[in-house]
Structure 1
């Protein structure tokens, strides 16, 4: 379902101290955006309405958290959930930041100096209409290789999805991009781990009888661990195009 435009969203986000208004000038300086820059930095890519990151960050003051989504109309909901979670915990919002960015451009935001210890990807768009759209998946090798730039060696990616095809394909994506899958399940709730935080989407899919798939992958060191090679684009034909009249 397409979310309606929220004309108030930008102004409300700009008024929030924990919203990053211009992230493109902070590459290499992300740890310094937090009150305790020495703490581990954790990302949620596609934080959506904020149900996950708000609970996680409020419960773990020992880490710093950065939530990223593509539009303000979604991020405004995350902003409000974060405020509510921290109010309930009785603590200031000092270890979480949020921003609107196209994750396909993440290399323009984060650099190797912005060492990240863990990445969460929860219920991202499966892009399963046709094979050509698969490259936009947040677990596609094109993306996973970008994450290698700033994810620490041995750093982990936690991935959850309801989509069978996306999960099956991701089981191949991670090793090809230089990650070792250390844990996986086709039914997360059958023996639910203590670290799991159920998101709004997770509850909805579970009520529909859809099993939640999940995995944890660890980044392997060195470029030799990456075996995926981006397909070359077809070269444009030389000479006049038939029927062009040239």
Structure 2
């Protein structure tokens, strides 16, 4: 297994659609895609199933999967190359550094699909829908940009709804049981490796879409912590 990981790390260095913590990348995306189409990110993309799936559905957009795990990115990047998908790229970097690689207001939407829910309260700040991360997304999202969350974790779902309500963010879609809905779009039904593992064993998939249309004052983070302690959204 270790040998395979090392081999994949070496292979992605040769992939034209993978960028590993590059300098001055913000000004290079247009050149890479050779167009100015809308830019959509999948954060903590894992094997990139959603990045590739969205790119298949909507060739008029450019999609970038972001993850720190190079051996996971390898799978999605290779699939995109094999299918000749020119609207797909992958960025290997920690999510905490995401604002370094995109100009302000340059990203149209962000997808977060089946991230680690970081269930312990002491790790709440590592949740990708914590205000700490949302403030980073605000730096690169367009004013009407949308954040999408798809998760099997009821804890992360409720936590994110708490964040949305506390900061007065605009909620666009809310599915407590996504696949029970009758008005689903094709992008709702893309399944990742981690979805199929059913780690949370909750027997349902949760989905949220919201806009970062308000400022996120740091002072409210203390209130957020108290809310999740009281109401059990941890």
**Which of the five TM-score ranges fits, normalised by the shorter chain?**
0.7 to 0.9
Preserved contact between residue 63 and residue 95 of structure 1 (Cα < 8 Å): yes
Correspondence for 2:85 among 87, 93, 114: 93
Judged with a 3 Å threshold, the aligned counterparts in structure 2 of structure 1 residues 154 and 203 are, in CA distance, closer, same or farther, namely same
Correspondence for 1:144 among 134, 151, 167: 134
| 1:1-246 alignment runs, 5 A limit | 6-36=5-35, 38-84=36-82, 86=83, 92-112=84-104, 115-129=106-120, 131-176=121-166, 179-191=169-181, 193-194=184-185, 195-196=187-188, 197-205=190-198, 210-220=203-213, 225-229=215-219
- CA apart distance, 1:51: 1.5
Unaligned runs of 5+ in 2: 223-234
For residues 2-51 of structure 1, the C-alpha deviation after alignment (integer angstroms, 9 at most, x for no partner) is: x8561111221011111113423213443332121x20000000111121
- CA apart distance, 1:107: 2.1
Which residue in the other structure is 2:228 paired with? none
- Greater Rg over alpha carbons, structure: 1
Preserved contact between residue 139 and residue 174 of structure 1 (Cα < 8 Å): no
Give the TM-score, by structure 1 length.
0.80
Give the TM-score, by structure 2 length.
0.83
RMSD between aligned alpha carbons? 2.4
Judged with a 3 Å threshold, the aligned counterparts in structure 2 of structure 1 residues 209 and 149 are, in CA distance, closer, same or farther, namely closer
Preserved contact between residue 54 and residue 82 of structure 1 (Cα < 8 Å): yes
Judged with a 3 Å threshold, the aligned counterparts in structure 2 of structure 1 residues 39 and 215 are, in CA distance, closer, same or farther, namely same
- CA apart distance, 1:190: 0.2
Larger proportion of helix:
2
Task: Give the SS at the match of 1:93.
Answer: coil
Preserved contact between residue 162 and residue 205 of structure 1 (Cα < 8 Å): yes
Preserved contact between residue 178 and residue 225 of structure 1 (Cα < 8 Å): no
Preserved contact between residue 177 and residue 228 of structure 1 (Cα < 8 Å): no
Task: Give the SS at the match of 1:105.
Answer: helix
